Amino acid sequence: MGGSAFARAPYSLDTPRMPPGVYHNLKSACHARLREMYLYVASPIDGPGKQDHGDIDIIVFLEKQSIFPSSSQVQLPHPRTGHEPLEQIAETLGAKHAIYQQPMFASANLALRWPEDDEIMAESDSSATAQKPRHDQVDVKIACSLEEFHFSLFRHSHGDLSQIIGTSIRPVGLTIDEKALYIRIPEIENSDRKRAKVELTSDPVEILQFLGLRGHRIDSKHPSGEGPAEGGASPDDDTGPSTSSGIWERPFDSIQEMFHYIASSRYFWVTAPKPADNPSKMGDQSSLDNTQPSVEAFSSLRSNDRRRMNQRRVYHQWMKEYIPSLHPSVRDGTFPNIEFNNLSAEVKRDLVRTDAFVRWPSARAEYQRVLAKWRTDETVRKQKSDIQMFIHDACLEHTQDEHWRRCAASALKKIVIKGESILGVAAPGLMSADGTYDMCQVESYLDEHGVAIGKKAWEAQALKYKANLEDKARQQMEATEQK
């Protein structure tokens, strides 16, 4: 399949996968046009082993008109997102259709007519019909800062690399998303995943260094003087010369090389399935070595990870082929990171957290602040539940009249729990210095004032009810007189 954004109604366009010639030439042309508008234009490094491409991803930053307006132009604000700049991008690229992505309208899917160059078309699928013109999908994102521009390139380079790294580091308490690397607070993550994240860094170099992932290949496939010549890549290739050994300068030579790179992280670990208790059911060694990923490996996968396994070939290979291939080395103790691998899950997380705080001391303070605030909030939440129950029991003890109890309970909750001043009553001194309730003070206050407040609330409700009846009677009388 190719780009899928325009595959369904109302567009129903034919967007087949692009062969290399179409992909590289069209990407180069799009970059050239967008550089007339933006100072920074780039595409993420392609994934390894790509024989064709579903779409073209482009990231742009800093409109030239926002810093170098001509005499006839108005200086634009920066950063600028929304329909207007995206429409200008679509017009510049000659897009036939566009889908603008909410909520920030900082990105768009564009459908461009398939290039008509005869040489390119000869390389493309000859089965295409004239009845349904082919299109190419180009996805453009406007970055709001140079940091975001660089991080987006890092996040989406090498195809599935970032997703696989994210899956690998999640069990040790780390999360990487579209903005930064985070450490998660275990006490919070099960109840509030977003609140549990504490940012460590948004610098790609620092992320790689912390994970122990090198920036250069140890053994380049194309040493100087061999392979493609300097600058011998396609003219649109912004990833550097093919002779470069930089991980972040050109694609990996193979999927296997990328897998080895991910597995070189200091925090990479694998749990091998335990052999069956009954030797007769174990089968031969080859079947044991090629077993499926362990239960532990799958337990950290979320629903979108499982969906990705079914939809992404490289991700599927990682989980179903590469990880199982490491199981024998885990069993015989030759696994490269065996010392870290043999630690318990809890100790692994503790070690990673300690390393993170050593590297980013400010993260420790933020981590402790968030955790302390969450603990206070959890205490207050439970206290509020206890107070509501105490109010309910106190009202029930006073009377069996359900209407009176509801009226009194509502007033007491506003005064005691919400701290409101109603009915000329306020409840001072019920909160401790740490932001939690002083439960002894709360119980004492309710014992002393609960019934009196309930009576006041009931009297106020009765007066309000009486006033409503009188108002309705007056309205009915006025309506009768008008007739």
**What residues contact 230, with CB distance under 8 A and at least 6 apart?**
241, 243
For 51, the token pair is 């024989």
> Residue 200 is encoded by which pair of tokens?
């460590």
β 135-142/56-63 pair status: parallel
- Looking at residue 131, its pLDDT comes to 61
Question: Looking at residue 299, what is its pLDDT?
Answer: 55
At 54, is the pLDDT very low, low, confident or very high (cuts 50, 70, 90)?
very high
pLDDT in tens, 195-221: 999 999 999 999 999 999 987 655 544
pLDDT grade for 379, boundaries at 50, 70 and 90: very high
| pLDDT above 90: residue 482 | no
Which whole number is the average pLDDT over 228-249?
A: 45
Name the more confident of 109 and 461: 109
Terminal alpha carbon distance of the chain: 74
Mean pLDDT of 449-463: 88
pLDDT of residue 395: 83
Q: Output the DSSP codes for 383-394.
A: HHHHHHHHHHHH
Give the model's pLDDT for residue 292: 47
pLDDT at residue 263 greater than cutoff 70: yes
Of 56-60, 133-137, 353-357, 428-432, the range with the lowest mean pLDDT is 428-432
Q: How far apart are CA 135 and CA 88, in angstroms?
A: 19
Percent of the chain with pLDDT over 90: 50
The percent of residues in the chain predicted with pLDDT above 70, rounded, is 80
Model pTM? 0.78
pLDDT of residue 301: 64
- The alpha carbon dihedral of 229, 235, 237, 238 has a sign of positive
pLDDT interval class at 282 (50, 70, 90): very low
The top-scoring range by mean pLDDT among 78-92, 355-369, 398-412 is 355-369
Give residue 298's pLDDT.
Answer: 54
The pLDDT of residue 206 = 95
Q: Is the pLDDT of residue 456 over 50?
A: yes
Q: Which of residues 279 and 134 earns the better pLDDT score?
A: 134
**CB 90 within 8 Å of CB 138:** no
Q: How confident is the model at residue 428 (pLDDT cuts 50, 70, 90)?
A: confident
Name which of 252-256, 336-340, 428-432 the model is least confident about.
428-432
Please say whether the beta carbons of 348 and 269 come within 8 A. Answer: yes
Answer yes or no: is pLDDT of 2 > 50: no
Cis check: omega of the bond before 79, within 30 degrees of 0: yes
Pick 353 or 435 by higher pLDDT: 353
Query: What pLDDT band is residue 7 in, cutting at 50, 70 and 90?
Result: confident
Mean pLDDT of 289-316: 65
What average pLDDT does this structure show over 284-312? 57
User: Structural domains in the chain?
Assistant: 20-157 (3.30.460.10), 168-362 (no CATH), 365-482 (no CATH)
Note if the bond before 19 is cis, omega within 30 degrees.
no
Q: Summarize the confidence of residues 368-375 as an average pLDDT.
A: 96
Position with higher pLDDT, 228 vs 109: 109
Q: pLDDT higher for 300 or 364? A: 364
Among 111-125, 329-343, 379-393, 448-462, the least confident range: 111-125
User: How far, in Å, CA of 381 to CA of 383, rounded?
Assistant: 5
Average pLDDT over residues 96-124: 77
Structure tokens at 139: 């996805």
Cis peptide before 428 (omega within 30 of 0): no
Task: Give the separation between CA 190 and CA 196, rounded to whole angstroms.
Answer: 9
